[in-house]
A and B are shown apart, each in its own frame.
Chain A
Amino acid sequence: MFMQQMVNGFSLGSMYALIAIGYTMVYGVLRLINFAHGDIMMVGGFLGYFGIAVLDLPFGAAVLLAIVGSALLGMASDRVAYRPLRSAPKISLLITAIGVSFFLENAFNVFFGGVPKAFPVPAYLENVIDFMGLTMPVSAILVPIITAFLLAIILWVLYKTKYGMAIRALAFDVGTVNLMGIDANRIITLVFGMGSALAAVGGIFWAVNYPSVEPMMGVLVGLKAFAAAVVGGIGSVGGAVLGGLIIGFTEVVVIAFFPELGGYKDAFAFIFLILILLFKPTGILGIDFEKSRF
Chain B
Amino acid sequence: MISVKNLHVYYGLIEAVKGINFEVKEGEIVSLIGSNGAGKSSTLKALLNSVKKIGDINFLGYDTRNHKTHTLVQHGLSLVPEGRKIFINLTVEENLRMGAFNNDENYEHLRDTMYELFPRIKDKRHQLAGTMSGGEQQMLAISRALMGEPKLLMLDEPSLGLAPKIVGEVFEIIMRLRDEGITILLVEQNAFAALKISDKAYVLENGKIVMNGVAKDMIGDDTIRKKYLGG
Interface membership of B36, Cβ < 8 A? no
Residues of A within 8 A of B210 (CB): none
* CB pair B101 A179 closer than 8 Å: no
Q: Which of A166, A173, A181 has the most CB of B within 10 A?
A: A181
From 165 to 223 in chain A, residues with beta carbon under 8 angstroms from any chain B beta carbon are 165-166, 168-169, 171-173, 175-184
* CB pair B101 A166 closer than 8 Å: yes
- Of all chain B residues, which has the CB nearest A181? B73
Interface membership of A258, Cβ < 8 A? no
| Cα distance, A169 to B87, chains bound together (Å) | 6
* CB pair A165 B97 closer than 8 Å: yes
* CB pair A183 B79 closer than 8 Å: no
- Of all chain B residues, which has the CB nearest A182? B101
| Interface residues as binary, B84-105 with A (CB distance below 8 Å gives 1, 0 otherwise) | 0101111000100111011010
| Cα distance, A183 to B85, chains bound together (Å) | 17
* CB pair B81 A176 closer than 8 Å: yes
A182-B70, A184-B70 given; A168·B90 CB < 8 A = yes
| Interface residues as binary, A226-251 with B (CB distance below 8 Å gives 1, 0 otherwise) | 00000000000000000000000000
Partner of B50, one of A168, A173, A178, A181: A178
* CB pair A178 B73 closer than 8 Å: yes
Residues of B within 8 A of A182 (CB): 70, 98, 101-102
Interface membership of B120, Cβ < 8 A? no
Query: Interface size on A (CB < 8 Å)?
Result: 20
* CB pair B101 A172 closer than 8 Å: no
What's the minimum C-beta distance from A233 to chain B, rounded to whole angstroms? 14
* CB pair A169 B73 closer than 8 Å: no
| Interface residues as binary, B31-54 with A (CB distance below 8 Å gives 1, 0 otherwise) | 000000000000000001010000
Residues of A within 8 A of B70 (CB): 178, 180-184
Residues of B within 8 A of A175 (CB): 50, 81, 85
* CB pair B98 A165 closer than 8 Å: yes
* CB pair A180 B94 closer than 8 Å: no
| Cα distance, A292 to B89, chains bound together (Å) | 9
User: Interface SS of chain A: helix, strand, loop or mixed?
Assistant: helix
* CB pair A179 B78 closer than 8 Å: yes
Interface membership of B206, Cβ < 8 A? no
- Of all chain A residues, which has the CB nearest B45? A175
- Interface range for B: 20 to 34
Interface membership of B127, Cβ < 8 A? no
* CB pair B97 A173 closer than 8 Å: no
Interface membership of A111, Cβ < 8 A? no
* CB pair A165 B90 closer than 8 Å: yes
* CB pair B88 A178 closer than 8 Å: no
Residues of B within 8 A of A165 (CB): 90, 94, 97-98
* CB pair A292 B88 closer than 8 Å: yes
Q: Which of B70, B71, B74, B79 has the most CB of A within 10 A?
A: B70
What's the minimum C-beta distance from B168 to chain A, rounded to whole angstroms? 25
Residues of A within 8 A of B94 (CB): 165
| Cα distance, A166 to B48, chains bound together (Å) | 20
Q: Which of B48, B87, B97 has the most CB of A within 10 A?
A: B87
From 14 to 69 in chain B, residues with beta carbon under 8 angstroms from any chain A beta carbon are 48, 50, 68-69
Residues of A within 8 A of B102 (CB): 181-182
Interface membership of B148, Cβ < 8 A? yes
Interface membership of B134, Cβ < 8 A? no
Residues of A within 8 A of B79 (CB): 179
| Cα distance, A171 to B101, chains bound together (Å) | 17
What's the minimum C-beta distance from A204 to chain B, rounded to whole angstroms? 33
A172-B89, A179-B69 given; A294·B74 CB < 8 A = no
| Cα distance, A171 to B94, chains bound together (Å) | 14
- Of all chain A residues, which has the CB nearest B104? A162
What's the minimum C-beta distance from B219 to chain A, rounded to whole angstroms? 31
Residues of A within 8 A of B145 (CB): 179
| Cα distance, A176 to B70, chains bound together (Å) | 10
> 10 closest pairs, A vs B, by CB?
A181-B73, A181-B74, A176-B85, A169-B87, A178-B69, A180-B98, A183-B70, A178-B70, A182-B101, A165-B94
Q: Which residues of A contact B (CB under 8 A)?
A: 162, 165-166, 168-169, 171-173, 175-184, 292, 294
Taking A162-B104, A178-B73, A179-B48 as known contacts, 17 extra A-B pairs with beta carbons closer than 8 A to each other, sorted by chain A number, are A162-B97, A162-B98, A162-B101, A165-B90, A165-B94, A166-B98, A168-B87, A168-B89, A172-B88, A178-B68, A178-B69, A179-B69, A179-B73, A179-B79, A181-B71, A182-B101, A182-B102
